A and B are shown apart, each in its own frame.
Chain A
Amino acid sequence: GNSVTQMEGPVTLSEEAFLTINCTYTATGYPSLFWYVQYPGEGLQLLLKATKADDKGSNKGFEATYRKETTSFHLEKGSVQVSDSAVYFCALIPYNTDKLIFGTGTRLQVFP
């Protein structure tokens, strides 16, 4: 079946540290891949997406590359800020469907 696996959190970093949150997926065909972010007290919002192999999604300094060979979509940021503290969800939409499937989320805590 279709599923998403994320690294467990929380991930605790100091400000300006490098961030990687791992995400791997299982899906038939070529799914679309997404990272959503949930800031404290707010709803889910799209951070970035990639719709085909080798695409790189980017937004607000975050990047993720669609790697078909390793079925991965790891989230990276070169220098995190306190304001990046949130829960990050990796998600996919299987090919030829509208069904959005989420991973379990990874909490990021950034300290000054």
Chain B
Amino acid sequence: EAGVAQSPRYKIIEKRQSVAFWCNPISGHATLYWYQQILGQGPKLLIQFQNNGVVDDSQLPKDRFSAERLKGVDSTLKIQPAKLEDSAVYLCASSSRTGTTEAFFGQGTRLTVV
């Protein structure tokens, strides 16, 4: 079974530029998460989708971050404009519907804003 795919693996941009990350979850997984992991910290949930609907985006900085999951499969996360403090690893994960099921993580995209 293929895992969660993310691209790109690494990205370096200047502040005020825009960037987009892509995630392809495990086939059939209805729930998709985007997390931000700043160096030395635990992953922080940015947004959670159930199929193509948003379940929780309470910690998404909506003035600069946006995410979509068209057709309930692939998802993109965008930052525009980027700030220095956005430097982090952005993790995508997916799981089947129930709350006790493990989430499967991609390898993440490491973003450096200079």
Q: Which of B18-26, B61-69, B73-81, B103-111 contacts A (4 or more CB under 8 A)?
A: B103-111
Contact check, B42 vs A105: say whether CB atoms are below 8 A apart. yes
Number of A-B residue pairs at CB separation under 8 A: 59
Contact check, A100 vs B33: say whether CB atoms are below 8 A apart. yes
Residue of A nearest to B56 (CB): A99
Q: Whole-angstrom distance between the alpha carbons of A49 and B31 in the complex?
A: 19
Contact check, B45 vs A99: say whether CB atoms are below 8 A apart. yes
Please name all residues of chain A whose beta carbon is closer than 8 Å to the beta carbon of B108 when the two chains form the complex: 43
Contact check, A101 vs B41: say whether CB atoms are below 8 A apart. no
Q: How large is the interface on B (under 10, 10 to 19, 20 to 34, 35 or more residues)?
A: 20 to 34
A32 touches which one: B44, B91, B100, B106 (CB < 8 A)? B100
Mask, B29-57, CB within 8 Å of A = 1, is: 00101010000111111001010000110
B99 touches which one: A43, A89, A95, A102 (CB < 8 A)? A95
Q: Whole-angstrom distance between the alpha carbons of A74 and B91 in the complex?
A: 25
Mask, B67-106, CB within 8 Å of A = 1, is: 0000000000000000000000001010101111011111
Please name all residues of chain A whose beta carbon is closer than 8 Å to the beta carbon of B98 when the two chains form the complex: 98
Residue of A nearest to B35 (CB): A102
Residues of A within 8 A of B (CB): 4, 6, 32, 34, 36, 42-46, 49, 51, 89, 93-105
**What are 5 contact pairs spanning A and B, CB under 8 A?**
A43-B108, A45-B105, A51-B100, A98-B99, A100-B103
